Amino acid sequence: MKLTITDDAMAYMKKRLAGANAYLLAANDGSNNFSEGAGGACTVGDAFQVVGVSKAPSDYDVKLENNQDADVLTSKNDMTFFGPGLKLDFKNNFLQLKDDGEMIDGQVTTNNQVDK
């Protein structure tokens, strides 16, 4: 799957996730080890985060081709929520994740896990 990352979104990610060798596009709904204080049925497929890591864990093995030549990965589980035209943008001081069909998350969080 292809992901378009705007220049503003990439600059924000690099600033917030300094030192990251890879970025994970992950649910923030309590379904994985990176969810922080989130969870519950009402957030499934609704809350996402970009996680900066030194090395991607084995369950994040789906590479998202992108225009920024960044190493962006996701899990097979998270792929079920993404449709054609996937885009990560930066508007109103937040990362926004959308596709051709909908705004998936208008307030994507960042989570720096470099060297953790």
pLDDT digits (tens, 9 = 90+) for 8-41: 999 999 999 999 999 999 998 767 777 765 555 4
Query: How crowded is residue 44: how many other Cβ atoms within 10 Å of its Cβ?
Result: 13
CATH of 2-112, one of 2.60.300.12, 2.40.30.170, 3.40.50.150, 3.10.310.30: 2.60.300.12
Instruction: Label residue 64 exposed, middle or buried (CB < 10 Å: 0-12, 13-18, 19+).
Output: buried
Encode pLDDT of 45-98 as tens digits: 568 999 999 999 999 999 999 999 999 999 999 999 999 999 999 999 999 999
Q: What share of the chain is helix, strand, coil (3-state, %, to 5)?
A: 15, 35, 50
Q: What pTM value is reported for the model?
A: 0.90
Q: Is residue 5 classed as helix, strand or coil in its secondary structure? A: strand
